[in-house]
Each structure stands twice: as C-alpha cells, then as structure tokens.
Amino acid sequence: MNSQRIADIVAKHGLEKFRAKQISDAFFKKHVRSWSEVAGLSAAVKEKLNAEEPVLRLTEHKLLESSDKRTYKALLKLGDGRIVESVLMEPLPGHWTACISCQVGCAMACTFCATGRMGLLRNMDSEEISDQVLYWRQFIAARKMDVQLSNIVYMGMGEPFHNRRHVFDSIDELTNAEGFGIGSRHISVSTSGLVKGIEELADRHPQVNLAISLHAASDELRDRLMPVANKAHNLDDLAESMQAYLKKTNRKIFIEYILLDGDNDSQAHAEQLATWLNKIQAKHLLHVNLIVYNQTESAHRESSRERARAFLGALEHRGVSATIRKNLGRDIDGACGQLAVMDQK
C-alpha cells in the first residue's frame, strides 16, 4: 500500500476524493490490517475492497523470533511466489529498526554474504519495498508492543543502488508526510560502492544516511571479496564519490567493515584502512562500523573478539572514529550478511 495506490483505488472504485485521507490515516497512522477496519467506508465498499484490493503486496510466509526477543525475521512471499527476508530488531533499548530488502537475491556476489550466493532473481518495485515497513508497523500494532519503529535501513537482500529507481521512489514514499511520515535522518541506505547511486542520493535525499560496505582498503583484496562492486568502481572512484558527497551534504558517512579471520583483520589491514580514510577530507564525518562476521556457508570465519578489539585500537590510534557493532539475530540467521532464501519458485 502506498499513496499512489490509494489514489488509484479511490478513482477505480468511484469513492469520494476525501476518502483518500481516511484510507491513508487508517493504514499509515493506525496501522490497520484490513479494509474492514477503515472508518467511514460502507460495509459494501469494505467487502468489495477486501475481495479485490489486498492491503499488502506481500504475505507472511514464515516468522522467526530470536531467543532474546530483540530480533524478528520474516520470510515474505511476493505476488509471483518469490520470497524475501526482512528483519525487525532492537539495537538499543526501546529503539526498533526495520532492515528491508530491495531485490530478490543480489548480483554483487560478495564472498561473505549469503544473499550473494542466490544471484539476482529480480528487482523489487517501490511498493513491495515500502510494504515491508507497513508489515512491521502492523506487526507491532497487532502484538500491542509499546514501541515505535524508529529507523529504516536498506541493508537487507540486494544492492539498493542496483535498483535505484524503485529504491528512490520508495524513499519518497517513506518520507511523505501524508503517508508513512518517516524523517529522512531515520533512514539509512547501504551500498557496496555504486557511484551513480551515491550521487543521486546526495541530490534527491541529502538528509538520508549513507553507509558504504567497504570491507577492504586495497583494490586487490576488495576484488577478491567484492568482485562485482570493486570492478565497477574501484577505491579511487569510491573515494572521489565520497568526497563529492561530503562536500554537497556535509553529512556523516558510515563505513561498514566486516572482520574476516585471516583475510582482512590484521594490524596491517587496519593501518591500510586508516591510511585510505585519512586521505579523504572532512574525515570527522567518517565513522567505521566494525562487524564481526556472521557465519554463512562461505569459507570465511569470524575474527576473534581479541582480534576485533586490536583492529579497533589500531584505527583509533590513527585518529579514525570507529566502533564494533553488536550483532543481533544470529540464532535465526537474521544478522548482517545472513539473509538468503535459496528455495525460490
């Protein structure tokens, strides 16, 4: 459900124009699940809409809950039978974040990411993307959870800037004050480094947070870990794009760096990363999120906590702002890099 679809439904079923706001308020503010709960519509209209106009373009296929009840993972079936995964998590007490997908699978083939093993099956359209947020809002309301969905991150299945048109349309929808009404600074988009998408984000949504999946500070290593992304735009291209983004937006960039035991987690790798980051002007607007690898079926292994702390210390010694991000949802394969649905229609 989005604002355009509501307008189409009002026109298609001959409803008065003012009904659009009633419908919008019902779904985006009250988070109702069916047309039967929309106030102001006649019983006959509700019955017709329930039969002909599904509220969501996706349905719950399976729901998993972590043992600490701070992470939920939903397998959501799309209209063509394809399945994507979406995650609701509580990284900080009382602050809930929805991690949403934008593609069924991914073409980037990053060696440490489960989604990359699927290959790209198709792009999701903007309504399928934003419907994940509506699904989680309905989930929270139905369970009477006394919380709000605080943040949205495009860090699920797929490379957002490989599906730019639909991703940016979905951001337009999520930030529409008459619809979802989510503030731009509560939305983050993560990219493996596709330059055109970074440029477009700076132009269209300069207040939306940008995260760069880096994972290596040499082209040789990045070619091995992220073959498609780095061959499209190497580290020099990426640094130039980041510099232009910082100049245009004056907004912080978050650098995501997954620590892989023996591959990219040595002191030399930390110094290499610090050197690369320190070449970028306005380095006070750069922050590194270190992520201890979440196990998938790849040959990679997670770095030890001691090695991760040593890596963090080396960055801080070189003047780089950094933290080790806490992993949530590992027990339901809902953590960073673990999303994948191999059994597709």
Q: Could you list the active site residues?
A: 85, 336
Distances (CA, A) of 128 to 119, 165, 305, 336: 19, 13, 38, 21
Which of 137, 165, 163 minimizes the C-alpha distance to 152? Answer: 137
Distances (CA, A) of 255 to 15, 95, 215: 48, 21, 9
- 83-92 β-sheet, strand order: 58-65, 71-78, 83-92, 95-99, 149-154, 187-191, 209-213, 253-259, 286-292, 322-325
**How does DSSP assign 307-338, residue by residue?**
HHHHHHHHHHHTT--EEEEPP--GGGT-STT-
Which residues lie below 8 Å from residue 124, measured CB to CB, with a gap of 6+?
78, 84, 101, 102, 103, 104, 158, 163, 166
- Sign of the Cα torsion 264, 267, 268, 269 reads positive
The tokens for 332 are 């339901």
Question: How far apart are alpha carbons 48 and 51 in whole angstroms?
Answer: 5
CB atoms closer than 10 angstroms to residue 225: 21
Are residues 316 and 274 in contact, defined by beta-carbon separation less than 8 angstroms?
A: no
Task: Read off the DSSP letter of residue 186.
Answer: G
User: Rg of the chain over CA atoms, in angstroms?
Assistant: 21
